[in-house]
């Protein structure tokens, strides 16, 4: 049935929501697809896919779903068979979503007269049956399209017998959602929302905002003669530096770090945003590019950026003991450092009192010696939504100097 398409889409990774699916079905019911696969493709896509990033997946799903029924002849049996519930293709929906789906279905059934639907449905079936010699592509979709869909909702339940809604228990039993649980990842938007909290409003620029309190005070003092008082509008004065580890051990987290980076760089929210990279640990140079070619002396960070800048360092903080504590300990054989990394880290912390370390690895793995040491220098947070929120809080609160024993 048509609802399968919904699951095909989701299987392919298109994040179709129930709301979108319902409006698609409604449009289908109102006959906007004019029994043409082109309409179904273009207009359907407009309903179901909300970012061009998913167009490819949509194509795949469309191909898979509508490609297969190309030349099949239509018989009543078969149509009825289609109508049966897709028992072996149970939905990947969370219980809450399932509940919402069920609710929407009921609403839908209430809104549309079921008998009328069934009558139209049968009529259309008959038409299809008669037309089946043509055996064109359209049978699977065009013919079914206005009816297939809701044929699924009320019809499916009637014709098909067992409703898959009831088999939710079975689904729960199989724990199909287990994988879903790990799916809760930070997307760019969530990060942006978290980063938005990073602000310090200061009055800057031209005086153009009306200060109402002052105006009232002044006006009262002038005995009713209106005196408008303007103020500078408040602007975010946060300047942010992002320092990111590009070391090999960070590779599994590169996507996550990319997201953080795009979130931070897309925000027009900061007064200034700068980013640099380092390899495993910070020595006398940081780099402007990911490939670590364009060197910027770390000293420059101190001379160019005053201590008001907020600093976020992203890295797993895991390295060999020598990389952190030894002269010439850098992992790159061609690189010599006459000061151990720990000194640089301490200097950075000293210069940027508002700094945090975001660690993409799980807290359970922080037992490593270097991680431990670094987390004593910089307040360390997990690169998760909660961690990011806590980190931002720490960044905006009063700076504390590290307590090293």
Partner 1 sequence: MAQNVHGYKGSEDYIASKPLMEIVNVAIALGKPLVIKGEPGTGKTLLAHSIAQALNKRIIVWNIKSTTKAKDGLYVYDTVQRLNDARFKDKDISDIRQYIKLGKLGQAFTSEDQVVLLIDEIDKADIEFPNDLLNELDEMSFHIPELDEEVVAKHRPIVVITSNSEKELPDAFLRRCIFHYIDFPDPEMMERIVRVHYPDIETRLVREAIKRFYMIREVDGLRKKPSTSELLDWIKALHLGGISIEKISSEIPFLGTLLKNEQDTGRFIRVATSQGGFGFKRKY
Give residues in contact with partner 1 (CB under 8 A).
Answer: 15, 17, 19-20, 23, 26-27, 30, 32, 38-39, 42-43, 46-47, 49-52, 55, 188-189, 192-193, 196, 210, 212, 215, 219, 224-226, 228, 266-268
Identify any residues that bridge with 310 across adjacent strands, giving them in sequence order: 240
Nearer to partner 1, 35 or 219 (CB): 219
DSSP 15: -
Q: Are 311 and 348 in contact (CB under 8 A)?
A: yes
- Token pair belonging to 33: 């697809």
Name, in order, each residue with C-beta under 8 angstroms of 91's C-beta and a sequence gap of 6 or more: 6, 7, 10, 98, 101, 164, 171
Nearer to partner 1, 43 or 118 (CB): 43
Which residue matches tokens 């007269």? 113
Q: Shortest distance, CB of residue 54 to partner 1, whole angstroms?
A: 10
Helix H or strand E segment including 297: strand 295-297
Nearer to partner 1, 27 or 80 (CB): 27
Q: Are 30 and 75 in contact (CB under 8 A)?
A: no
Nearer to partner 1, 46 or 87 (CB): 46
| Alpha helices, DSSP H, located in 160-307 | 168-174, 178-181, 188-196, 212-221, 254-266, 298-304
Q: Shortest distance, CB of residue 24 to partner 1, whole angstroms?
A: 10
Instruction: Please write down the HEC assignment for all residues of 115-178.
Output: HHHHHHHHHHHHHHHHHHHCCCCHHHHHHCHHHHHHHHHHHHHHHCCCCHHHHHHHHHHHCCCH
DSSP 185: -
Q: Shortest distance, CB of residue 73 to partner 1, whole angstroms?
A: 29
Nearer to partner 1, 26 or 343 (CB): 26
Q: Shortest distance, CB of residue 17 to partner 1, whole angstroms?
A: 5
Q: Shortest distance, CB of residue 49 to partner 1, whole angstroms?
A: 7
Q: Shortest distance, CB of residue 218 to partner 1, whole angstroms?
A: 12
Nearer to partner 1, 67 or 205 (CB): 205
């Amino acid at each position: 049935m048509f609802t399968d398409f919904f699951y095909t889409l989701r299987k392919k990774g298109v994040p179709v929501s129930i709301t979108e699916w319902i409006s698609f079905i409604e449009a289908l019911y109102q006959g906007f697809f004019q029994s043409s696969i082109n309409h179904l493709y273009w207009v359907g896509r407009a309903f179901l896919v909300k970012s061009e990033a998913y167009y490819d997946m949509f194509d795949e799903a469309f191909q898979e779903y509508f490609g297969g029924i190309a030349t099949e002849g239509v018989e009543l049996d078969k149509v009825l068979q289609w109508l049966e519930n897709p028992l072996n293709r149970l939905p990947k929906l969370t219980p809450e979503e399932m509940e919402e789906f069920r609710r929407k279905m009921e609403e839908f059934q209430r809104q549309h007269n079921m008998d009328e639907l069934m009558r139209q449905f049968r009529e259309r079936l008959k038409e299809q049956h008669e037309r089946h010699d043509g055996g064109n592509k359209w049978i699977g979709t065009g013919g079914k399209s206005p009816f297939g869909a809701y044929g699924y909702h009320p019809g499916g339940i009637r014709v098909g017998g067992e409703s898959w809604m009831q088999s939710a228990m079975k689904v729960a039993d199989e724990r199909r959602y287990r994988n879903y649980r790990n799916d809760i990842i930070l997307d760019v938007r969530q990060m942006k929302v978290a980063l938005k909290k990073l602000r310090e409003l200061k009055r800057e620029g031209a005086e153009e905002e009306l200060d109402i309190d002052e105006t009232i005070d002044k006006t009262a003092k002038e005995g009713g003669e209106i005196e408008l008082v303007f103020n500078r509008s408040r602007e975010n004065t946060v300047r942010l530096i992002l320092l990111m580890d590009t070391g090999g051990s960070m590779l599994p987290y590169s996507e996550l770090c990319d997201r953080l980076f795009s979130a931070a760089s897309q925000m027009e929210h900061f007064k200034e945003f700068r980013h640099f990279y380092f390899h495993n640990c910070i020595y006398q140079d940081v780099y402007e590019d990911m490939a670590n070619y364009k060197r910027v002396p770390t000293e420059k960070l101190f001379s160019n950026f005053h201590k008001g800048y907020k600093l976020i360092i992203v890295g797993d903080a895991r390295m060999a003991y020598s990389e952190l504590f030894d002269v010439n300990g850098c992992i790159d054989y061609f690189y010599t450092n006459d000061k151990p990394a720990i000194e640089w880290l301490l200097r950075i912390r000293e210069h940027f009192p508002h700094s945090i370390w975001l660690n993409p690895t799980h807290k359970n793995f922080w037992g490593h010696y270097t991680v431990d040491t670094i987390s004593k220098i910089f307040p360390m947070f997990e690169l998760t939504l909660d961690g990011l929120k806590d980190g931002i809080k720490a960044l905006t609160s009063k700076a504390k100097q590290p307590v090293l024993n």
